[in-house]
A and B are shown apart, each in its own frame.
Chain A
């Protein structure tokens, strides 16, 4: 399937090359080439220029609308939709993040379509390949599973199309599996662990015995590994690491092992419905009465689903929490706009989707072209952008956004001021100090062409 798509795209590129060649020849004949030096650099690349010749450009979102991660995926979709609507109407909010935006992107209307990835890499690759070959997508986006993000990274690099991974916590996405065409904006295992570890040590002390519940794929191993690394200096030891399959229907056998392990802290790396199920069952096995629960990479909607009772006192990290709007006007405007349209406070999947689209628009507007080579250069220029998280910028060496990490603690039900008021923001930790050296995870971005 994907092989056919590669061939399709290759054929398209050949056709466009010929068309482009004719254009250059024509331009040379009229002498116009001398006044347009960029033309030579803008040889067809990916879906450029084929996808940008009409009055609109197409972008594709592929996110899990079914399966274990469907709730986060649906939230992601809403944030994405809102961002595109704001782009096309030239909304004031998106122009705060992307100041050069007027309406659309470079004056072109942005059209989009959504496909269900089921959080499965092969399904996602097929859907995104169709967006690229059939719809001439100029940008693709979406992920809740890091396994999907890593797979689409490779597709984007091969097809020369800009990719925005949205929810992906594995170090690999901007680490060993990083690519030139992909830009990750969310926090990830390493920065989450670096941000939360000092808070945990402050709250619980040194020398704790820890049990891990780790989903068995790149995201889970990445987060558990990073947490172990940052907690080790304070003498926290791993008593047991219970590796469980993605989408496990029952956690009883893993939880019994944890209950009998003598651990003092349970660090649960599960995400989506897996997080809900494992917390609920940990409570039933009496584990939460004798161990502190930590969710190092909080899943959207988790508190809503398991309830404030179980989440009180639970430390976690998140990409965004709506009360950031108390201090940041962009965050507040986003929360209000989202709430007005969808009737609930946005979770972090929606936030990162909105922000990524806005940052993409900003990169394209600054590049003044959809040509991927120039858009990538614009991303890598080190410009500072204003967002709901405060000022952020892209790190050119691994295409990771330098951004703060939100450390949260679950509120007591009696302390909640509104039904959505689940967390205290314990710290908004600046991004610079949290990140590994750009080459620490062996990131090699690859070439533009």
Chain B
């Protein structure tokens, strides 16, 4: 389907897809950058945000409250998980961390399946955002336009927290040299708990924002997790701006490739990741070395 209108449509769609990936990936990358833990349960956090929002919506019939409910739910789950489990793994080898978060992801998915079953659940977009918007030749679901806006705001908020506040300064200092921060008398572990919570909440927020677009299923996070890793590798592991850039690039790759041959869109994502690993192993915006 090569035509100018379709090309412009796909370019735009890539931006929308990319924004979602950017938000989820930023949570993953902030956790990794600060704690050094690659959280394989991140896809499950995304999924639980959707279910948390679904439950809130069932009780309140307010989409705004569902956004808050879904995010808070995952924030709490994130903090509790960090306190109970993850913190005991900071000094363990990376493979232990991978195994424990991978297992955690499975437990979360199966718990949700136990509670809600395998049939998919639907969340409707709020009335003010349903329908279709026509922008010249481009016809786009109104809700997806809102999603782009909501995610842009969320990313800006994350940026402010990370770059314009004292806590953000500590987090970034922790990324550079956790030992030094500790010696300065700052309770690094409390910061770690917060970072894990915020990172998880970013995924949870993305989950509920995306819920009206997709059917909710317990394993909806699996595929997203894979794409999120690709984004993080492309953008630079541990880099917040890298996650955003990587997300947008991944979104455009998925969208543009589908125009030529849809069956290659996933393949191209991995081709680009491989190229980045070959020529710039630290990722586009990643730093080349860190202790």
Give A residues with C-beta under 8 Å from B.
Answer: 65-68, 70-71, 73-74, 216, 240, 242-245, 247-250, 252-254, 256-257, 259-261, 273, 276-277, 280-281, 284-286, 301, 304-307
Complex Cα gap A275–B242 (Å):
34
Task: Pick from A245, A256, A285: contact of B266, CB below 8 A.
Answer: A245
- Within 164-217 of B, Cβ neighbours of A (below 8 Å) are at 213-215, 217
When distances are taken between beta carbons in the complex, the residues of chain B under 8 Å from A74 are 118
Stretch of B61-69, B74-82, B219-227, B277-285 on the interface side: B219-227
CB-CB under 8 A for A256 and B6, given A243-B262, A284-B213: yes
- Within 4-61 of B, Cβ neighbours of A (below 8 Å) are at 5-6, 9-10, 13-14, 16-17
Q: Are B223 and A248 in contact (CB under 8 A)?
A: yes
CB-CB under 8 A for A250 and B132, given A71-B119, A243-B262, A260-B1: no
Number of B residues, CB within 8 Å of A:
43
When distances are taken between beta carbons in the complex, the residues of chain A under 8 Å from B218 are 66, 70
- The contact sample of 26 A-B pairs, CB cut-off 8 A, is A66-B109, A66-B110, A71-B119, A71-B120, A73-B118, A243-B261, A244-B263, A249-B227, A250-B213, A252-B16, A253-B14, A254-B262, A256-B10, A256-B13, A256-B255, A256-B258, A257-B258, A257-B259, A277-B214, A280-B122, A280-B214, A281-B213, A284-B132, A285-B140, A304-B119, A305-B122
Give B residues with C-beta under 8 Å from A.
Answer: 1, 3, 5-6, 9-10, 13-14, 16-17, 109-110, 113, 118-120, 122, 132, 139-141, 143-144, 213-215, 217-220, 222-224, 227, 254-255, 258-259, 261-263, 265-266
Task: Pick from B9, B141, B224, B255: contact of A249, CB below 8 A.
Answer: B224
Task: Pick from A249, A250, A261, A301: contact of B119, CB below 8 A.
Answer: A301
Q: Are B6 and A284 in contact (CB under 8 A)?
A: no
Complex Cα gap A250–B118 (Å):
19
Q: Are B17 and A253 in contact (CB under 8 A)?
A: yes
Complex Cα gap A183–B143 (Å):
47
List 14 extra interface pairs beyond A74-B118, A256-B13, A285-B141, CB under 8 A: A66-B219, A68-B219, A71-B119, A73-B118, A216-B263, A252-B255, A253-B259, A253-B265, A256-B9, A257-B1, A260-B1, A285-B132, A305-B119, A305-B122
Task: Pick from A243, A244, A257, A277: contact of B215, CB below 8 A.
Answer: A277
Q: Which residue of A lies closest to B119 (CB)?
A: A71
Q: Are A260 and B262 in contact (CB under 8 A)?
A: no
Complex Cα gap A307–B13 (Å):
26
CB-CB under 8 A for A260 and B258, given A243-B263, A250-B213, A284-B213: no
Q: Are A71 and B16 in contact (CB under 8 A)?
A: no
When distances are taken between beta carbons in the complex, the residues of chain B under 8 Å from A247 are 222-223
When distances are taken between beta carbons in the complex, the residues of chain B under 8 Å from A273 are 120, 215, 217
CB-CB under 8 A for A242 and B139, given A249-B223, A260-B5, A284-B213: no
Task: Pick from B6, B113, B222: contact of A260, CB below 8 A.
Answer: B6
When distances are taken between beta carbons in the complex, the residues of chain A under 8 Å from B141 are 281, 284-286
